[in-house]
Structure 1
């Protein structure tokens, strides 16, 4: 046999052997698939939402009389005690009315005192028989009229004092002046709020949570909060309130958190993000969410067992961090076929790598 032909035959045999080496196992045993060997692990179910810092009890303050602003003695953000003057309105006219009413009250009081003296003197004369009963009654009428005038004058004084007090807006509680919408010289309309006030020293975190997660939340759950302005300083909080209604336009529900120890940098309306712990399980079997698919009768997963791929019906629980809890259908140690591969139930296959 010529040498060239011999080399050709050897080359063909090598190629056939190589083809058999790569192709035959795939034909006999199927392709290699990436799999994950399932194992129980701790599972923490969380709900993440964003919101803002708010006062524990906020109120809008204004004046009950229309007048111009005379003074704004407290700056925005200042912490004040109950009764502190927050806004002073021009009061010259009302002060003059009070002075006038006070003078009228003093005059009425003097008239009453004189009427009482005259009545006492007339009583002595009546007892001695120098005047008639009609004359004594006339003096008594003067006393009663003077007393009525005193009461009316005192009422005018009280009314003027009340109007004067209405020209001063004071802190209803210990707290913080959050915002002021007017400056000196501005006209304040009666009944229009011009100050925003937060009572107390407390701070709340108010979050807008998607209504889909409402069933997972309950008062008392723990949360980790971070301000957008200080992501390096997260702090702990507790869920204290879930609003009784859902915002129909946004599909959200307001959830309130109470910080365990509010940091000093926490400011009103500061944007924050919070991760609330809805549930913890010491041991749970989970699979990647993408590894599940819809099948006859419910959700299915692909499992590699005995050299073949098989579809396994599964019952699932909660989902967290891209993984889904499997309550039944799979067990620890099973080889789960990972998504993104050409795998169909019944095909032969081998494990390529375990994650």
Structure 2
């Protein structure tokens, strides 16, 4: 009977010796969100290109005997660009002209015979059938003469095509053949560029916010001409990323190309001004994910407990990110240490990083 009171005394002593464990606050970096107006210039580096390229080629195969221009030359409309050996074309024209002479002589004889037979028919000395045969001969001779004329026209055109000329006032952008080279029909000899119409072409990093600014003005600087400034408008953004470079091809149409510069392959720097927006800057370490959406841990200043808040990120930088929506001014956000949190976790600011 004396054992029961003794056990109660021992149990009471053990309970008094075990203090209640209090929840410990996790030291983390805590930052207070303040509104920030953000606007910046996005820099792009590229080169100038023409909007019009004209590849010139001979209509027929042949051996080039002369190329009269070189890259960078200015050429006027009708100027000779190149020539191929015209021996075959000249011989073909001689044969066609001889054929035309023979056809014209045959037509003359047929016409004379027709006139004679017409007179005989009128006097009743021949039959209608005999006259119809003569008339068919005249039709045949006329057709032969027309075919011979067409052959001469084709032969003359072929001879003219042995000389390649400029279709307009242009600039030689590239030269692809040399004298003595045998070329096929349609093989490019030179490529001409129009004297007007220029684009600035850039390779923008993937993710750069350029597509939403199609039609916006871009200021340009010609790097080889003391930073000479031009105006351009964003006209095209490639729909896919170049797999080799990881960049996106961007074009801007130059609105005021200088008359004293041809702007072919000139290095150029473009500056695109991104309009200002209001947001909140938080450190990279604050960003986490919740249900497939970006979020940050916010701190209730009354209880110092954390909760997840979904956010919309406007822009990333090398050290921070700009939050467009989801963080009102004055919100307390966890930076470093956010990876160790769960909803309702008690935190405290580390003194060395408290703000």
Q: Give the TM-score, by structure 1 length.
A: 0.70
Deviations 1:324-346 (A, max 9, x none): 3233566668899999xxxx951
1:259 equivalenced with 2:254 (yes/no): yes
Mapped pair 1:315 → 2:320: no
What residue in structure 2 maps to residue 123 of structure 1? 118
Is residue 346 of structure 1 aligned with residue 340 of structure 2? no
Q: Pick from 20, 39, 42 the counterpart of residue 43 of structure 1.
A: 39
- Correspondence for 1:287: 281
What value does the CA root-mean-square deviation take over the aligned residues?
4.1
Residue 212 of structure 1: SS of its match in structure 2?
A: coil
CA distance in 2, matches of 1:133, 1:68: 58
Of the candidates 264, 268, 283, which is equivalent to residue 264 of structure 2? 268
2:33, 2:270 → 1: CA distance? Answer: 33
Cα distance in 2 between the residues matched to 1:222 and 1:78: 32
1:106 aligned residue: 101
Give the 3-state SS of the residue equivalent to 2:256 in structure 1. Answer: coil
Distance in 2, matches of 1:80 and 1:36, equals 67
Q: Which of 152, 155, 158 is the matching residue for 2:150?
A: 155
Summarize the Cα distance change of 1:346–1:199 in structure 2 as closer, same or farther, 3 Å threshold.
Answer: same
Residue 316 of structure 1 contacts residue 324 of structure 1 at CA under 8 Å; is this kept in 2? Answer: no
Structure 2 CA distance, aligned partners of 1:336 and 1:159?
A: 83
Structure 1: distance between partners of 2:350 and 2:133: 125
Q: Do residues 55 (structure 1) and 55 (structure 2) align? A: no
Structure 2 stretches of 5 or more lacking a match? Answer: 1-28, 342-346
Decide whether the 8 Å contact of 1:314 with 1:327 is kept in 2: no
After TM superposition, list the pairs within 5 Å mapping 1:326-345 onto structure 2.
326-327=323-324
Q: Which residue of 2 aligns with 1:240?
A: 235
Give the corresponding residue for 2:193: 198
- Structure 1 pair 261–315 and aligned structure 2 pair: CA distance change class (3 A): same
Q: CA deviation at 1:320?
A: 6.5
Change (3 A) 1:286 1:262: farther
Could you report, residue by residue, the CA deviation over 1:310-334 in whole angstroms, capped at 9, with x for unpaired residues?
9996835322765632335666688
Work out whether residues 312 and 329 of structure 1, in 8 Å CA contact, stay in contact via their aligned partners in 2: no
Task: Classify the secondary structure of the residue corresponding to 1:108.
Answer: helix
Give per-residue Cα distances to partners, 1:77-111, cap 9 Å, x unaligned: 23445554322222132023213312321331233
> How has the CA–CA distance of structure 1 residues 176 and 203 changed in structure 2, closer, same or farther, with 3 Å as cutoff?
same
Q: Give the match for residue 87 of structure 1.
A: 82
1:179 maps to 174
Q: Distance in 1 between matches of 2:282 and 2:230?
A: 30
Report whether the alignment pairs 1:325 with 2:346: no
Q: Retained in 2: the 8 A contact 1:60–1:194?
A: yes
Give the 3 Å change call, closer, same or farther, for CA 214–109 of structure 1 in structure 2. farther
1:229 partner SS: coil
Q: CA deviation at 1:195?
A: 1.5
Aligned length: 315
Report if the CA contact (8 A) 1:53-1:266 is conserved.
Answer: no
1:9-48 matches, cutoff 5 A? 38=34, 40-44=36-40, 46-48=41-43
Q: Is the 8 A contact 1:76 1:178 kept in 2?
A: yes
